[in-house]
Structure 1
Amino acid sequence: MRIQRRGEVSYDWQLYGGAGRLAVESYFRDQTTLPANVMLYHLPPGSSEGEHIHLEGEEDSCTPYSSDELYVVVSGRVVVTADGERAELGPGDAAYTPAGSRHGVANETDEPAELVIVFGPPKG
């Protein structure tokens, strides 16, 4: 068994032209062959990751491959957008964005928010 403690693999990023900077934890990315990546986002008040897509062959894709993405809110409240649709999510809520969907997440509140992000190849 391998254990990763909070803060051991942490990055401070501005993602996809979003507002502010996000603290991002990446879990076992270089140590697994699982087809999905798992991350923890910490979004300070007013921050966002910016809208983006994951679609192989698209010039503005942020990854060279297609992937679906799942957002699960751990704490706080966020707004998830996907192809022009907006939804407000709170703790325990989740949003799923399929490959090719232009999507993003924003914290439009005065409180911090945390989300678990899981992304990987679409079911083929």
Structure 2
Amino acid sequence: MQIQRRGDGHHDWSLYEGEGRVGIEWYFADTTALGAHVMLYHLAPGASEGEHRHLTGAADSCSAESSDEMYIVTRGEVVFSTDGDERVLAAGDAAYAPAGLRHGVRNASAEPAELVLVFGPPRGEAAA
């Protein structure tokens, strides 16, 4: 059995030319056998990860492999953007970004926000 507690392995990173730093807890990053990875994002007011995409072979991809991503808001609210379209998501809302779609998330509110981020290879592709 493996247990990871809140705060274990916490990092504050600047991502994809976003504003401020994103607090990230990556759950079982080096030990999971699941086909997907899970992170908890902490976004202070004004923080963002910046728009990016995950697409194998694309010069502007932020990762070597294609990856689908799902963002689930657990606290506060965020603005989820995809290629210029913006939507406000509140606690309990989710957004999905298939591989190759430019997307990003930012906290435009005055309160902290938290999101669960689940990402992995598109359906039918083997996990690395």
TM-score, with length taken from structure 1 = 0.98
Aligned to 1:62: 62
In 2, the alpha carbon distance for the partners of 1:35 and 1:11 equals: 23
Q: Calculate the aligned-residue CA RMSD, in Å.
A: 0.7
Instruction: Give a deviation string over 1:4-28, Cα, whole Å, max 9, x none.
Output: 0011111110100000011100000
Q: Is 2:30 the partner of 1:26?
A: no
Shift of 1:60: 1.4
Identical-pair percentage: 61
| 1:78-98 Cα shifts (integer Å, max 9, x gaps) | 000012211100000000000
Residue of structure 2 equivalent to 1:38: 38
**Helix, strand or coil for the counterpart of 1:29?**
coil
Counterpart of 2:91?
91
Letter in 2 for 1:25: E
| Aligned equivalents of 1:32, 1:46: Cα separation in 2 | 32
**Residue equivalent to 2:73:** 73
Secondary structure of the 1:104 match is strand
Which structure 2 segments of 5+ residues have no match? none
Which whole-Å CA distance do the structure 2 matches of 1:27 and 1:66 have between them?
Answer: 20
Q: Where does structure 1 lack aligned partners over 5 or more consecutive residues?
A: none
TM-score normalized by structure 2? 0.95
For residues 51 and 2 of structure 1, the distance between their equivalents in structure 2, rounded to whole angstroms, comes to 33
SS in structure 1 at match of 2:73: strand
Aligned residue pairs: how many? 124
1:33 CA displacement: 2.0
